[in-house]
A and B are shown apart, each in its own frame.
Chain A
Amino acid sequence: MLTIALRAFLKTVRQPFQLFPLIFFPAILLAINASGLTAATELRGFPTHSYLTFAIAVAYVQGALFALVNAGTNLAEDIESGFFTRLALTPLSRAALLGGLLIGIAAVGVLQSLVYLLIGAVAGAHLHGGLPGAFLLLGLGAFASAGFGAGGIAAALLLRSGEAVQGLFPLFFVLLILSSANLPRNLLHGWFHTVATYNPFSYLIEGFRAVYLSGFPAGPLLGAVAVIAGTWLLFGSAAVALLWRSLRPG
């Protein structure tokens, strides 16, 4: 299983064109938002005076979303190149194959989260949760990446094309925009507030954000954990079902 995980990790980090958007695109968006939306902190009810501290949580979630595309594209490439068949021709069990892929994705998730932690620290985002909070963010980043990565695996097994998997990203990105990514929900109004309230991305972002803003508040953290658990349940079971269908029993 660890062999598969290591190979999945290496496949990602050895492709600069894949690694760059995975790690730095969320950081670039963060820099743009933090420099352009600082005035939002003047609004009554905004939870902090630093927009960077408020917005950095979105980078973690974007990173997890990229894990979906990255994992799906990598597996679709393996299917198209026949490498997946090589794995299927070994005595490796399907559970070990899926586990290995998810561990590899989680490892990339840890790397991404570490980069965002460092960027936040260097740029001056205040991490209220301190060192334990940093470890919690790494853990949430890893599990969120693996959860969304399972979605990428399921998509690759279903669509069997890297381009088709990449086509899913805009759908999720729209959901990310229609959440509390740029403003807290208490400052959203009308249909946007309704959509953001029902949007699971809001709760995922608010969990990461809470570690920066206030440490370890149970409510937002439980909300984020519930969303991550939901991705594992939904995408994980889809990946299991499709993998079991794709690979022969025995």
Chain B
Amino acid sequence: MSTPPDPAIRVEGLVREFPGGLRAVDGIDLAVSKGEIYGFLGPNGAGKSTTVAILTTLLPPTAGRAVVVGHDVTAEGAQVRRKIGASLQQSALDPYLTAWEHIRLQGALHGLPRPHTQRRGEELLHRLGLSEAASRKVRTYSGGMQRRLDLALALLHEPQVLFLDEPTTGLDVQSRTGLWEEIKALAQRGVTVFLTTQYLEEADLLADRVGIIDRGRIVAEGPPSRLKAEIGRPALEAIPADPASAAGLAKLLERFGEPLSLGTTDGVSIRLQGGTGELAEIVRAIDAAGIAVADLRIHAPTLDDVFLAKTGRRLEGGGEG
């Protein structure tokens, strides 16, 4: 890993061990440049949220060092908290306060002058589509509105680094897309975004670089396009019309690539040796063998394939890890 000069986040040998010996974070090194969107990808329980809790000063590390915006998270917690914003998994809102009351509270807690809080609050509420609901108590808000208010509060004091811990979990497609647009806009304005997610599409779409974490360790890191290119070849999945012919189909396809499990039960899959260029030849071979095929699919490499290649397991649908 090459460390960018003067990174917004620098982590060296970070370890967090919980009572009972569970090492949720097991020796992480990473560096995030200013203005970068860093996607932290992994299954549930991989150590994403624990890492965020350490970087946001909520949890002390057992070993190692983390520096955020030039301040050590252990020794200079208050300075770190002044310069970061965080929207964690749970929207941390008081149902009995209005959006405006949340904004005034957050502004006061960060020591912002009232006129500045008012101006910034108006801007953020407008940008996040909450102006009309700003005087309503939060308990009347939908999940998406609560998420957006949570983000507005995290941005109120103009943080240099924004931590987003699974910000779109539980949101509908429209809310999720809106939040993605906002995250991209933030990065364009120079805010460093540390985004944890278990959605591959989210990491692929938003992140300049991703770190894939599994069982407390980073197993792969880099731009999504490079990681996928490292995995390289696409996969082919053929679904026989008659399940009884699956064995024959598998034997035939072995000529074109190594067998692969895509997690489906009714198909035969291979990692193509010669890329999609062999597709016509494969179709001719299947036809010549007299095997009826119900469906033939090409799978371009995904971050899930990267995870599979690095850990031997699927990320999507992997459940608790």
Contact = CB atoms under 8 A, between A and B. Distances in A.
A81 B92 contact: yes
A86 B153 contact: yes
Given A10-B96, A78-B94, A85-B92, A91 B76 contact: no
Contact of A249 (B77, B92, B93, B106): B77
Interface residues of B, number: 34
13 contacts: A4-B109, A7-B94, A10-B97, A11-B94, A15-B96, A82-B91, A82-B92, A83-B92, A84-B92, A85-B92, A89-B56, A89-B84, A250-B76
Contact of A3 (B94, B95, B96, B108): B108
A87 interface: yes
A247 B79 CA distance: 15
Contacts of A88: 58
A86 B92 contact: yes
A248 B58 CA distance: 6
Interface centre among B74, B96, B110, B153 (most CB of A within 10 A): B96
A14 B97 CA distance: 9
A92 interface: yes
Interface string A190-204: 000000000000000
Contacts of B101: 7, 10
A30 to B, nearest CB: 29
Contacts of B86: 89
A87 B78 contact: no
Nearest to B59: A248
B111 A91 contact: yes
A81 B97 contact: no
A15 to B, nearest CB: 6
Interface residues on A, range: 20 to 34
B271 interface: no
B48 interface: no
B105 interface: yes
Contacts of B74: 250
Nearest to B54: A248
B81 interface: yes
Contacts of A11: 94, 96-97
Contacts of B90: 81-82, 85
B88 interface: yes
B79 to A, nearest CB: 8
Contacts of B94: 7, 11, 78, 81, 83
Closest 10 CB pairs of A and B: A250-B77, A82-B92, A82-B90, A86-B92, A3-B108, A90-B109, A14-B96, A91-B78, A248-B57, A91-B82
B77 A248 contact: yes
B60 interface: yes
A86 B77 CA distance: 14
Contacts of A81: 90, 92-95
Interface string A1-22: 0011001001100110000000
A89 B96 contact: no
